[in-house]
Structure 1
Amino acid sequence: MAESAPLKNASRWMKQAGIDLADAEFVAASGRHALACFLSHQSAEKAVTGYLLARGAEMVWGHSLADLCEDAMAVEPSFDFMKSIGPLLDKHFLGARYPGGLPGGVPAEVYESYDSERALEIARDINQFAQERIDQLPV
Structure 2
Amino acid sequence: MNTQPLKWLQRATDDLAVARLVLEEDYAAHACFLAQQCMEKSLKAFLLYKQNRYPRTHKLVDLLTVCRQLDNRWNDFFDDCIVVDQYYIPTRYPDAIPGGLPEGLPAAAEAAESIASAERLLQFAVTLIPAQ
TM-score (norm 2): 0.88
Matched, 1:112 2:107: yes
The number of aligned residues is: 130
Give the Cα separation in 2 of the matches to 1:112 and 1:80: 27
Give the Cα separation in 1 of the matches to 2:125 and 2:37: 14
Partner of 2:69: 74
Identify the structure with the greater helix proportion.
Answer: 1
Return structure 1 stretches of 4+ with deviation > 6 angstroms: none
Matched, 1:15 2:34: no
Instruction: Choose 64-73 or 53-62, whichever is displaced more.
Output: 53-62
Q: 1:44 aligns with which of 39, 51, 60?
A: 39
Structure 1: which amino acid aligns with 2:44? T
**1:86 match: secondary structure:** helix
Partner of 2:60: 65
Tell me, yes or no, if the aligned pair for 1:73 and 1:79 is still in contact at 8 Å: yes
Partner of 2:120: 125
Partner of 1:86: 81
**2:11 match: secondary structure:** helix
Structure 1: which amino acid aligns with 2:76? F
Partner of 2:97: 101
Give the Cα separation in 1 of the matches to 2:125 and 2:114: 16
TM-score (norm 1): 0.84
Tell me how far 1:98 sits from its aligned partner: 2.0
Percent identity over the alignment is: 24
Tell me, yes or no, if the aligned pair for 1:53 and 1:60 is still in contact at 8 Å: no
Tell me, yes or no, if the aligned pair for 1:41 and 1:123 is still in contact at 8 Å: yes
Residue ranges of structure 1 left out of the alignment (5+ in a row): none
Partner of 1:30: 25
Q: Flag the structure with larger Rg.
A: 1
Structure 1: which amino acid aligns with 2:110? D
Give the Cα separation in 2 of the matches to 1:102 and 1:117: 24
Evaluate the alpha carbon distance shift between residue 40 and residue 102 of structure 1 in structure 2; reply closer, same or farther with a 3 A threshold. Answer: farther
Instruction: Choose 9-18 or 60-69, whichever is displaced more.
Output: 60-69
